[in-house]
Structure 1
Amino acid sequence: MSQVWGLLIILIICPLLGGLPLIDWITYGLSRKRLSKIGTRNISVSAAFYHGGQLAGIFAVVSEAAKGILTILLTRVFFPSGSVWELFALCALVLGRYWWGKGAGTTNVFWGVMVHDPIGGSLTLVLSLISFTLFRDRKSGKLVVLFLLALILTLRHANQPEYIIGAIALAALLAGIYQKIPDDLDLSQTNVNPESKKMFRFFRGEQAILSLNDSLKPQKVGQKAATLSHLKRLGYAIPDGWVLPAGDDIQSLISFLNPSITEPLAVRSSAIGEDSENASAAGQYISILNITNKEELESAILACQNSYNSPTAIRYRQDRQQKDTSMTVLIQKQIKGVFSGVAFSRDPVEQLNTNVVIEALPGDASLVVSGKVTPERYQIEVSDLKENNLDEIEVNILGEGDVPLHLIKQVAILSRQLEDLYQGKPQDIEWTYDGQTIWLLQSRAITNLHPIWTRKIAAEVIPGVIHPLTWSINQPLTCGVWGDIFQLVLGKRAQDLDFNQTATLHFQRAYFNASLLNTIFQRMGLPPESLEFLTRGAKLSKPSVFSTLINLPGLLRLAQREWQLEKDFEQDKQHYFIPTLQEIEIHNLTNLSSKKILNQIEQILLVLKKATYYSILTPLSFAIRQAILKVPFEDLDNSAAPEVASVRSLAALAEELGHLLPIQTIKADNFAALFAHLSEVSEGKNILNRFQKWLECYGYLGEVGTDIAVPRWSEEQRPVKELFFQFLFSSQPFFATKSSDDLSTSSWPTLWLQKRLNLKNQTTEIYSKLLSYLRWHFVALEENLMISGRLNQTGDIFFLKYDEIEKLTQVNHNFADLIQQRRQEFQQNKDLTQVPYVVYGKPNLTNKPFIYNISSRSKLQGIGASPGQKIGIIKIVKTLQNLPNIDAQTILVVPYTDSGWSAILSRAGGIIAEVGGRLSHGAIIAREYGIPAVMDVHHATEILKNDQLVRIDGQKGLIEILDR
């Protein structure tokens, strides 16, 4: 029983004892300084010495030593002296120390070990003093001490496996905490006790001097120095440099460096928070050039450090809600430049201009950034770096001056290389050319080009131009559901994220916030290239084991949701989806008042939120399972997908008509003549009735299912009537690549994945039907408002937001001018060509996108979505209105594919889409009919021309233009 009490002491009392903030109380009592509010906010012995002085530090040592000793003595009340439980008790003490006090507990452990095993503790102490003398570096020295502690204790108890585990666990725990918490000696604070700095100067020597050749972390030395060290280690031409972290003794560095007239130095700032994505701090801190002796160097370093606390710098940080942190000083060899300048990998002013912008002059870089001299300005159009070798990269330079154009080309390529290196984030670089080498002096993100917005993924989910009513409903639903999913995984780490900023409209098109999603993905443990995945389609590497473990609780919660997805959907289907659809189907909308229609719209919206959840999570679930199980898409039965089932049943109806009526007796050369002929014969009338029932079943499909402003098949019947006509007179038999009967002998992974695919198809059907009924309710409401004179013409309601419609039904607001303005904006945006797939920052949308020469390519690369090769003639179809003749020789080029496009996609010999992937509607249709398809070919409707001859490879995702 006593050992049970001992365990309680270890698990409860020891952590509480460790978390007791005695050091904070002592330091405050002696110096009136709260360690929890200054420096790194660590409540540690070193912080007490550093901020409170020697007396506070001595008392802090005594208090922490008492904790360690008391822990051992308490443990001995219940367990034998020297047992492994004493080590586990110290572990519990250290955990409490870290959780509540944000300290490591080194002093606790040292004195605890001295009581636990005096011989082992003494040996560790002696060897540790020797190692500190050799290393003279706190970080390396502490890790060596931990290694010696674990080694000595395990050697003294080599015959006790449980003791070895305890010793290693204690050392590993301290090592892990050392990596988590910053060191107060790495930060500078005002009013620091000068005697405290002297105490730690011994642990600084030439070996501890940081240079740009070292691996530096931005949270330690600032983003500027960390970026330059990263680039230098990658092989870029960076001038040699040394870094003085805040709080370090400057004398050792000054003694090490020898500036002279022939080899001058430059002192620059690298403050924590400077050169970030949201704040450059340009011009806030002092940079000093042409330093030729040690006295000037010391004066320059102190001036640079003091500039951190200048009134303008403080106000700059306050305006951007940045915390006061510290200043690291960067000292570099100064390059004598023949030509120098700055380069922006994207235009920071005309944000829709994707050219590189360079400002340059003869002489040093300081001339350009000083603002005292007007530099030469160049704009450079650069071809895709990834498609060419550096020697083959084509550039088009606009601008002229004294700077050689070959140098401008090299700088432009360098700026794009750095943008690619940093996952597509536009870069602002400073450079200088000494006659032989282009030296890179700085690279940082262009702050006003943040965040980055991408149409990738968004253009597939919500394609085309979007009406205001649709967006006012879709945006909060989509952002809300994604926010719920991310919060499920991230938990408290999602508290500072605004999920309402997940998506926005540019040029009336949907864009996802790639910067926000990249932040989310990084917190979820995905690799840094997640931004490139969102903006450029780069492949993601697997997350590390460590990041997976960190996110394990959230991932398990998400996995539980995914595992129960089918069960949850079935429950919601029975309780919400089917009852709601049945209820709204029985009402004749023409007989309902505006108030009752609005009530039903509210009911649909409530259920639509649940459906949106499944419409997002089920495709995600299917994609994850497919990636894990590696089941080919061709092995699955997609016949239940609405876009496939609708075309199959229409083909079956056409086949039945062919049996009832001899084809030669039907005199019709188009779909209109066919349906007119059918209405005149008895067998034809039966088919027409069957066609009408088919429309009642699948009429909810349309050109853009997610846009409630776009008519459905039941309203715009031409595409499906043309398809019916083709099925009737086509000599090619209808076929599908897979049917449910073919799955009887399939493997268990295929059958298991098939269940998730069936669920995906069910959710698509429910979601699409709800959106269609939502549309028809707004159409009925619009008719009522037109009768009452509150709206003027058909379609007006879709140019109002939902809250505006609610006001319009209650009070007779006059929205005529607003509707007219939005109609004009919508039409202007609809007519735009080459709308950018990536938008940087918040551009002025009154300017039209830049038009580029994109038609000069002979090969296009996309995502292979359906295997096979085909040579055919290009026909571009941007809408389902005024369709051309489409046959097996047609390579159909479309801006996007929705379930409503299946009526024409199934008639083509090949498919090219500007957006989409292997799970898009077009890809599903293509695989069902064995049609080669390539998705995600940006600007395909502009690059390719009608009647061009092309070869399409649906396996490789490659398109070759054979006829230019």
Structure 2
Amino acid sequence: MTLVQVWGSLAIFIICPLLGGLPLIDWLTYALTGRQLTKLGTGNVSVSAAFYHGGTLAGILAVLSEAAKGIVAILLSRMFFPVNSVWEIIALIALVMGRYWLSKGAGTTNVVWGIVVHDAIAAGLIFFISGVSFTINRNRSTAKYSVLVLLTIIIALRHPEQPEYGITTLALSTLLAWIYQQIPDDLDLSATQATSNSQTMFRFFRGDKNLKSLDVQLDATQIGQKAANLALLKKLGYSVPDGWVLFPGDDPNQIVKYLEPSVQQPLVVRSSAIGEDTQSDSAAGQYLSILNITNREMLKTAILDCQVSYLESTAREYRRTRQQQERSLGVLIQKQIEGIYSGVAFSRDPVDSVNEGVAIEVLPGDATQVVSGKVTPYRYRVIMPDLSLSVIDKDRNHSSIKIIHENSTSSTEQTIPTEILESVALLAQEMEELFQGIPQDLEWTYDGEKIWLLQVRPITTLQPIWTRKIAAEVIPGVIRPLTWSINQPLTCGVWGKLFTLVLGQKSVRDLDFNQTATLHFSRAYFNVTLLGTIFLRMGLPPESLEFLTRGESFTKPPLQSTIKNIPGLWRLLQRELNLAKDFQRDRKQIFLPTLRELETTPAKDLSAQDILERINKILAALDQATYYSILAPLSFAIRQATFQISETSLNHRQTPELESMRTLACLAADTRKLLAAEKITLNSCASLFVQIAENPEGESILTRFEQWLEKYGYLSEVATDIAVPRWRENPRPIREIFTQFFFDAEKRKQAQSLNHKTSKSWLTKSVQKRLNLKNHSSEIYNKLLAHLRWSFLALEQIWLREGKLLTPESIFFLKFDEIISFIQEPSSDAHQQLFKLIEQRQQKWQQERELNQIPYLVYGYPDSTVLNNFSLSSLERPRFKGIGGSGGEIEGYIKVLSSLNSNIDVDKQTILVVPYTDAGWSPVLARVGGLIAEVGGRLSHGAIIAREYKIPAVMDIPHATQLLQTGQRVRINGYTGIVEIIS
């Protein structure tokens, strides 16, 4: 390369981007009209914006100015390089980059005219082939990308001996394609901004093939959710008025010529904007709907008015405040139904969201009266038969439907037929079921023969949806602020890293993983809406959402989505394959040294500042331990499902809670031998330990018991909750279990002989290794949490002595950042503020702790007052269906046990009903005949322990502790998951 060409390349890389970013269109429009395009409409400085805001002259000058940029870039290259050299294409790349990064334009016009000057023959071939293709296909979106492909191929074929031409042209085409994905191009914007003056210019690029009716499947990303939903419902056989859609970029004249509105058959024009009627944004009232269109001139005007409404200041402000991208607006045109009764229906009350009734507002006449807000409609609440999947009999029984006229007064008569209200309510429930459990808002009308669906959309005020499913198993019970301030960022952080690993940084940059979980009524809930968004981006079908909202089995991803996510899945697979090696590395380098230091240096001997450093060290280890505590169970579940390894062929002996019970039973057996010659008359814990202490050799038993506590004392009723005491702190329940093992030979023998199976096939061994890894990671995780609890308790003791706290365990009502501030920046009145804060939170926590009926699904951000109308009466049934966790069938008597602090007098005829099953429940489960749990699945603690003890278990029966009562006789089937009340 000569010195001239070196200077030429520098000129291209410096001048062309600046030339591309030069806002000539904005300047020209401002000079002619006084309007600044950057402050109008979408803010895009584009040719179509110049036409719309500046008129025909401004638009024509805009086209000429952008064409001139492309030509100048080519001429600049020719000043330093030969004519038609590859540097001309490089100059266009630099120009387009400047056009996008400096003025947010696509640069299509620049490239078109630049290619014409660079290679007129190639440009002619591209125009001819694409023109013929578009004439046949008439699909502008496809044509736009097809031209880029043609550009690459034809330029490459024109220079077969010079591959650099094909490479640089491919780079140019790829850049343009990427920009098209980032911003609406000039043609997209023309769809909603074009006036009659600009329509002629773009008419060729609009085509008429995309004039589709609601009888075909529609893509919401192209035509908006409103039209796409109605097309889906029409396909499924619901009564939806005939309709047609005008895609963004289509010529409205085509549809105006096709349709023939009249007084006898009027039409209605509705907006169907991309971004309208979504789960997060309804855009209600932002865009126009125009009724009673009786001729073609009215239709043409209505379409234009509807399109222009997208640019109204209120609509722009609505999109801006909700951080919506500026996209485009489709138009939906339908036959207008003359309704006798019309209204709206909400499958779930948007104000009283926990109430199961369907809310209906209705008036005689068409639906516009109700949504206009100018007339007070009749309001009804329709209580439907429960359709929960935990109930076997889901037949709809009209006799059990209850209708409440909510605004009924002496001057208001019920004029709406009951059968219409019942049908609308059933329709609303069907819509919620159809759209994966997301509450729906229906606009409907009844014409004397049938009910027509005019609109179906999510109730955005009930977003996000939160579920206790899984969350109630991960961290069950009523949670204190300190526990949540530790667990929430750890858990959400790890899930965020895993989802980012699969989807890539770009695909998750708009997601807030800190919102993966939250507290409602002091209980943990997972964000269904956020997880649903993640599922969709991973290519999982929408039905996967019902795994969290309705208890359905998780839907397998289609092959297409699996292929799409191969890069992310490969990254996740690499993590999975290296999981054991990585854990052993971190166990050696992080976990064991940290635990060794914690065990050899008691927290009670440290100062407050030293304890804070100790806590931070534990949290650093916990951050990595949380990763393994989530990924190891996931890896185990995937391998077990993939290799189809049954639970009976696996050895759970290394599960900490099972191993603890086995060794405790062995100690009880040795104690039995030691005291075999003595008469033990009282079957009580206290008398047994007295006799052990009085025996000459009893000291060895007590020493072994203390060693057992030292080894397994980190476990508790809820190991994931640092506010719950560990066994080491309160050994009384363990002493009672030890006593039961001592007197019950059968249970003792069963616990001693737990699971001695050995893996045979290499597939079973592979799954077994993952099960062992799961157990080892769980042990590390729970030990670190125990030491974290003990560190906070040591800090609390210091503050109690100093008068900074008043009562034990009160530190758990502070958040971690508040504790840090209190240590690092103490003030004279800080402790008084803490007293008030703790008192307020204790009162709130105690009130919410006493709430008995907590919904498993929560909508939006409710407070505890919404529970005033919540009732489980609609869920009461003689039979329930959950998940079979451990095979077998048994009849027995219910024992409801809300916590391990309750009475634990159980036997083999007892069917235990519990809210959850964590490690601490294993001592009780060793002595019962069956188990029913409100949460959990086949891989939960309760199910694993039940299988080891060979007792039937049914998991995932929501509200079981309220719906079933102590003393009831029931039959449970651990294979089918069915629970039947006998008496």
TM-score bracket for this pair, using the shorter chain length:
0.7 to 0.9
CA distance in 1, matches of 2:609, 2:116: 77
Equivalent residue, structure 1, for 2:859: 840
Could you tell me how far apart the structure 2 residues matched to 1:412 and 1:431 are?
A: 11
Q: Counterpart in 2 of 1:159?
A: none
Give the aligned partner of residue 6 of structure 2: none
In structure 2, which of residues 276, 279, 282 is the aligned counterpart of residue 277 of structure 1? 279
Q: What aligned pairs does 1:161-310 form with structure 2 within 5 A after superposition?
A: 184-188=186-190, 196-202=198-204, 207-310=209-312
Do the aligned residues in 1 keep the contact of 2:106 with 2:180 (CA within 8 Å)?
Answer: no
Instruction: Name the stretch that deviates more: 356-365 or 32-41.
Output: 32-41
2:770 to 756, 759, 767: 756
Q: How does 1:456-605 map to 2 (within 5 A)?
A: 456-489=469-502, 490-605=504-619
Asked if the contact 1:43–1:103 (Cα under 8 Å) also holds between the matched residues in 2, the reply is no
Q: RMSD across aligned C-alpha pairs, in angstroms?
A: 4.6
CA distance in 2, matches of 1:502, 1:929: 35
Instruction: Give the TM-score, by structure 2 length.
Output: 0.84
Letter in 2 for 1:915: V
Hey, what's the Cα distance between the residues in 1 that align with 2:288 and 2:712? Answer: 69
How far apart, in 1, do the equivalents of 2:848 and 2:964 lie?
21
For residues 349 and 249 of structure 1, the distance between their equivalents in structure 2, rounded to whole angstroms, comes to: 42
Q: Deviations over 1:643-702 (max 9, x none)?
A: 111000011111212222228722222222222222222233332222121111111111
Q: Residue 708 of structure 1 contacts residue 774 of structure 1 at CA under 8 Å; is this kept in 2?
A: yes
1:546 & 1:893 partners in 2: Cα distance?
Answer: 43
Shift of 1:367: 1.6
- Structure 1 residue runs of 5 or longer lacking an equivalent are 1-11, 80-84, 157-161
Q: CA offset at residue 64 of structure 1? A: 7.2
- Equivalent of residue 453 in structure 1, options 431, 444, 466: 466
The whole-number CA distance in structure 2 between the counterparts of 1:47 and 1:847 is 48
Q: State the distance in 1 between where 2:117 and 2:707 align.
A: 88
Shift of 1:909: 1.4
Find the counterpart in structure 2 of residue 609 from structure 1: 623
Note if contact 1:187-1:245 (Cα within 8 Å) is conserved in structure 2. no
Give a deviation string over 1:329-386, Cα, whole Å, max 9, x none: 3222111111111111111112332322111122211121121222111112331176
Counterpart AA for 2:468: R
Code of the aligned partner of 1:844: D
Cα shift at 1:463: 0.3
Equivalent position of 1:3 in the other structure: none
Shift of 1:867: 1.9
2:403 to 375, 397, 406: 397
Match of 2:906 in 1: 886
The alpha-carbon deviation at position 901 of structure 1 amounts to 0.9
Q: Is the 8 Å Cα contact of residues 634 and 737 (structure 1) preserved in structure 2?
A: no
CA shift in 2, pair 1:693/1:144, >3 Å: closer
Measure the CA separation in 1 of the matches of 2:879 and 2:144.
58
User: For residue 908 of structure 1, what is the amino acid of its counterpart?
Assistant: V
Give, as a single letter, the amino acid of the residue that structure 1 aligns with 2:216.
Answer: D
2:879 pairs, out of 859, 867, 879, with: 859
More displaced 10-residue stretch of structure 1: 288-297 or 864-873? 288-297
- Counterpart residue identity of residue 834, structure 1: Q
2:334 match: 332
Displacement of 1:285 in angstroms is: 3.0
CA shift for structure 1 position 91: 15
* Pair 1:773–1:203, CA change in 2 (3 A): closer
Would the aligned equivalents of 2:650 and 2:757 in 1 still touch at CA under 8 Å?
A: no
Q: Deviations over 1:258-296 (max 9, x none)?
A: 222221122222233322333322223332222222333
Give yes or no for contact 2:210–2:246 (8 Å, CA) kept in 1: no
How many residues are aligned here?
A: 947
The one-letter amino acid paired with 2:895 is: K
Structure-2 separation of matches of 1:251 and 1:887: 80
The alpha carbon displacement at 1:613 in A equals: 2.1
Give the aligned partner of residue 969 of structure 2: 949
What one-letter code is carried by the residue in structure 1 that aligns with 2:921? W
Match of residue 921 from structure 1? 941
Report the more deviating stretch, 366-375 or 172-181. 172-181
**1:896 corresponds to which residue?**
916
Matched, 1:813 2:813: no
Please give the secondary structure, in 1, of the residue aligned with 2:454.
strand
Question: Out of 422, 427, 436, which is 2:449 matched to?
Answer: 436
CA contact (8 A) 1:615 1:764 kept: yes
The Cα shift of 1:180 comes to 5.6
Kept in 2: contact 1:527–1:540 (CA 8 A) = no
Of residues 753, 758, 762, the one that matches 1:743 is 758
Contact 2:278–2:458 at 8 Å: present in 1 too? Answer: yes
- Partner SS for 1:742: coil
Alpha carbons of structure 1 residues 21 and 273: separation in structure 2 relative to 1, 3 Å:
farther
- Which of residues 910, 928, 938 in structure 1 aligns to 2:930? 910
After superposition, what is the alpha-carbon deviation per residue over 1:490-520, rounded to whole angstroms, capped at 9, x for unaligned? 2122222222222111111011122122222
SS of aligned partner of 1:288? strand
Q: Which secondary structure state, in structure 2, belongs to the residue aligned with residue 839 of structure 1? A: strand
Per-residue deviation at 1:625? 2.1
1:527/1:543 contact within 8 Å kept: yes
Shift of 1:844: 2.4
SS for the counterpart of 2:873 is: coil
Query: CA separation of 1:664/1:863 partners in 2, compared to 1, >3 Å: closer, same or farther?
Result: farther
Paired residue for 1:406, among 387, 403, 419?
419
SS in 1 for 2:867: coil
Q: Deviations over 1:232-283 (max 9, x none)?
A: 2222211112223455433332222222222112222223332233332222
Deviation at 1:189?
7.0
Determine if contact 1:589/1:777 at 8 Å carries over to the other structure.
yes
Structure 2 residue matching 1:342: 3-state secondary structure: strand
- Cα distance in 1 between the residues matched to 2:560 and 2:953: 39
Q: Tell me, what secondary structure is at the counterpart of 2:334?
A: strand
How far is the alpha carbon of 1:126 from its aligned partner?
Answer: 6.4
**8 Å CA contact retained: 2:444, 2:453:** yes
- Secondary structure of 2:279 counterpart: coil
The corresponding residue for 1:824 is 843
Which deviates more, 728-737 or 415-424? 728-737
Query: Residue in 2 aligned with 1:681?
Result: 695
Aligned-partner Cα distance in 2 for 1:935–1:175: 54
Matched-pair contact (CA < 8 Å) for 1:866–1:931: yes
Q: Does 863-872 or 191-200 show the bigger shift? A: 191-200
Matches of 2:75 and 2:960 in 1, distance apart? 74
Instruction: Give the deviation of 1:459 after TM superposition.
Output: 0.7
Structure 2: give runs of 5+ residues left out of the alignment: 1-9, 409-413
Letter in structure 2 aligned against 1:441: L
Tell me the SS of whatever aligns to 1:888.
coil
C-alpha spacing 1:575/1:136, structure 2 compared with 1 (3 Å) = closer
Is the 1:48–1:60 contact (alpha carbons within 8 Å) kept by the matching residues of 2? no
Counterpart residue identity of residue 387, structure 2: D
After superposition, the Cα gap between the structure-2 partners of 1:280 and 1:141, relative to the gap in structure 1 and judged at 3 Å, is: closer
SS at match of 2:885: strand
2:660 corresponding residue in structure 1: 646
Q: Which moved more, 1:227-236 or 1:121-130?
A: 121-130
1:369 aligned partner: 371
Code of the residue aligned with 2:909 in structure 1: it is: Q
> Is the Cα contact below 8 Å between 2:84 and 2:119 reproduced in 1?
no
Percent identical? 51
**Mapped contact 1:701–1:768 kept (Cα < 8 A):** yes
Question: Distance in 2 between the 1:536 and 1:62 partners?
Answer: 60
Partners of 2:124 and 2:317 in 1: CA distance: 52
Structure 1 distance, partners of 2:539, 2:99, is 24
Which deviates more, 333-342 or 147-156? 147-156
